[in-house]
Every structure is written in structure tokens, then in C-alpha cells.
Amino acid sequence: MQNNSRFLGQTDIRIPELGIGTWQWGDRMMWDYGKGGYTDADIRAVFDAALAADIRFFDTAEVYGLGRSETLLGQFVRESREDAIVATKFMPFPWRLHRSRLMAALKHSLKRLGLPHVDLYQVHFPLPPLPAEHWAESLADAVEAGLTRAVGVSNFSAAQMGRAFNTLAARNVPLASNQIEYSLLHREPERNGQLQTARDLGITIIAYSPLAKGILTGKYTPENPPPGARGRIYNREKLQKVQPLIALMKEIGQAHGDKSPAQVALNWTICKETVPIPGAKNARQLQSNLGAIGWRLTDDEIAALDTLSAPLN
């Protein structure tokens, strides 16, 4: 497996072409952490397998598992004594109004992580009432305080991204990334200007839910829907409509040495110049996801996937 690293936006931080999502590490609302599904030992195995493959970019957030995700990630990084690129996020809850609240939250994240600084600090959502510029100023404060090497946003529209970019630029800080939902089943960023604006401004798009929360692995069907909240998002009808796309992904995967639909789905996001951060619950899933890198779909295959996924979007 060849890992082609790239720069994170216009920073000097190098990231692999795929990162590791850690929402699963402690979450019980969407995922079945601790309910017999998977344990801390499984999560540790995910971390170790990623490092062994030299994939060192981990995305967490203060809200994942109510802090558990950060605590586990920090513990693993410290115990491994290896370098890792740690990204976490600030949630601008509506009661967090003062500019200093971001720095206070970042200090709490650093305490849970047990690290002196993070590599990327992101505003999780552009929640009202405060505008993009307000939190961009706070992000610049965090860089100046040496608590993060780079800053990013998440779920920001093209316009909000541009405004955060300008505010940060006035403070000589590049906006490194916008983390947004992007997959074969969620191609809205191609139409709403997010991908284009990021390209124009040199901002890296970090693609979350790149497997559409497991749907693009092909293991969920109308007869075998995903459990819990995911079953409501991807109901029987939606799962039925996805099956021809899964079949095409299988066919395309075979031409690349038996790649799985999940590997094809992740490779497609990489071909679209984004950095996917799939979540994995165990080392088996992680290893499988790593098989998405070191090769590329052909232009014809990308076009075929684009055509078949278009009506699903």
C-alpha cells in the first residue's frame, strides 16, 4: 500500500490521503459502543493498525462520546509515543457567546487528550447566533496562543467558508480545511459551491461519512437494514435504490484486484480531491478501509459512478 501524503490546506502539515474518524470511540447515540458491539480493545486495535500502516491523522471532537473519544485518542497517542496528527472540534452551542469560549473549550479538549496542543482545531457547525467571522477570530487567537498548529471549519457553506477565510487571512492564518459530508450518496458539495470554493482558496475538504455511515459497504440491504438511527435515515426504499450502485462498485472493484464497494467508495472521494475520514469499529474494518489508498479509479469508472449515483442525490 502506497500512502501519498498531501499538505493540509496551505499549511506545512502533511496528512495522508485518508484519515481516521473517531466518532465511534465512545458514542452510544448513533453507534453501539459498549453495548456488545465493540469495546475499547477493538478501538485500540484500530489505532495500532492505523499507525502500523503509517496513517496518523485522527479526527475527533469534544462532543464525541461526551469527551470519551478525545480521552481514548489522547491515551493511545501518549502510550504509543509516536507522532500523530490530531484534529478536534469546538461546538458553538448557542450559550457559548463570548469569543474566549472557544479557547476555554480547546483547553478542556487538550486536558482530555493530555497533549500540549492539537494539529487542527475546527468549528464543528456554523450554529447561530454568531457569524463565521466571530469564531474565525477565536480560531486565530488559538493559533497565536500556540494551542493548535492549524485551524479549520466544519459544515460551513461556501459563503461561510469564504468569510472565515477572509477573517483569518487578516490575521495571517490560513483556513486549512472544511470538514463536510461527502460521498457517492451525498454529492451536494459539488452543486452548492463548497468543493469549488475550497479549490479556489486552497482549503482541504475533509470528507465525513464517506461510506454513508456503512451503506456504501454494500452490507446493508432492504432485507438487512442498519440498526438504530441509521435504519431511519436509510429506510427500505432508499436501500433498494442503492443496490444498482453497489453492484457497479463491485464490478469496478473486481477490475482493481477485488477491491470492495467500501474501498471503491473511499477511492472515489479521494479522486474528487478530498480526504475521507471513515470511521471504523474494529481493526478488520480499518484494514479494509486502508485498501482504498495507493491506487486510483480510472476517469471512465469515475464517470460511470457519477452517472449512476446522480439520481440518488
How do beta strands 118-123 and 148-154 pair? Answer: parallel
Please, what is the minimum distance in Å from the beta carbon of residue 30 to ligand NAP? 7
Please, what is the minimum distance in Å from the beta carbon of residue 37 to ligand NAP? 7
Q: What gap in Å lies between CA 16 and CA 7, rounded to an integer?
A: 9
**Could you tell me the sign of the dihedral formed by the alpha carbons of 298, 300, 301, 302, in that order?**
positive
In this chain, which residue has its C-beta nearest to ligand NAP? 21
- Tell me whether residue 21 or residue 189 sits nearer to ligand NAP (CB atom): 21
Q: What gap in Å lies between CA 66 and CA 53, rounded to an integer?
A: 29
Please, what is the minimum distance in Å from the beta carbon of residue 75 to ligand NAP? 17
DSSP at 84: -
Active site residues: 64
221-247 burial code (b ≥16 CB/10 A, e <16): eeeebbeeebeeebeeeebeebeebbe
C-alpha grid cell, residue 105: 473549550
Please, what is the minimum distance in Å from the beta carbon of residue 92 to ligand NAP? 12
- Tell me whether residue 109 or residue 288 sits nearer to ligand NAP (CB atom): 288
C-alpha grid cell, residue 240: 433498494
- Tell me whether residue 9 or residue 279 sits nearer to ligand NAP (CB atom): 279
End-to-end CA distance of the chain: 32
Tell me if 182 sits within 8 A of 189, measured CB to CB.
yes
The continuous run of DSSP H or E covering 143 comes out as helix 132-144
Please, what is the minimum distance in Å from the beta carbon of residue 286 to ligand NAP? 8
Tell me if 149 sits within 8 A of 116, measured CB to CB.
no
**Could you tell me the sign of the dihedral formed by the alpha carbons of 115, 113, 105, 202, in that order?**
positive
- Tell me whether residue 62 or residue 141 sits nearer to ligand NAP (CB atom): 62
- Tell me whether residue 112 or residue 213 sits nearer to ligand NAP (CB atom): 213
Binding residues for ligand NAP, per CB under 6 A?
A: 21-24, 31, 59, 124, 154-155, 179, 208-214, 217, 219, 262, 277-281, 285, 288-289
